[in-house]
Amino acid sequence: MKITDVQITPITPRNGLVAFASVVLNENMYLGSIGVHTKLDGSGYRLTYPTKKVGQKDLNIFRPMNEETSKMMEEMIISKVKELFKES
């Protein structure tokens, strides 16, 4: 799997949420609404993936299925976020 595009949309910070990210995988699959939050200790960023509330349950829309994929997405997205926020 290869991430072929990363887009970051900054927002007015709210409860630690500072941006939304989207990625394109293998030029074939778009995944959006990935939340970018500041870590509670201020040491960087963390990602959250979209869910849908059904009754009392939160169902995952999508998420990485293994640590390798999770790390790859974190590195690509957080790198782009740092680059964007450094410019502003």
**What percentage of residues in the chain have a pLDDT greater than 90?**
90
Q: Grade residue 27 by pLDDT with cuts at 50, 70 and 90.
A: very high
Q: Grade residue 42 by pLDDT with cuts at 50, 70 and 90.
A: confident
**What pLDDT does 17 receive?**
97
Q: Which domains can be identified in the chain, with CATH numbers?
A: 3-87 (3.30.1120.40)
The dihedral built from the CA positions of residue 41, 8, 67 and 54, taken in this order, carries a sign that is positive
**What pLDDT does 86 receive?**
87
Q: Grade residue 87 by pLDDT with cuts at 50, 70 and 90.
A: low
Query: In Å, what is the CA distance from 62 to each residue of 41, 59, 88?
Result: 27, 9, 30
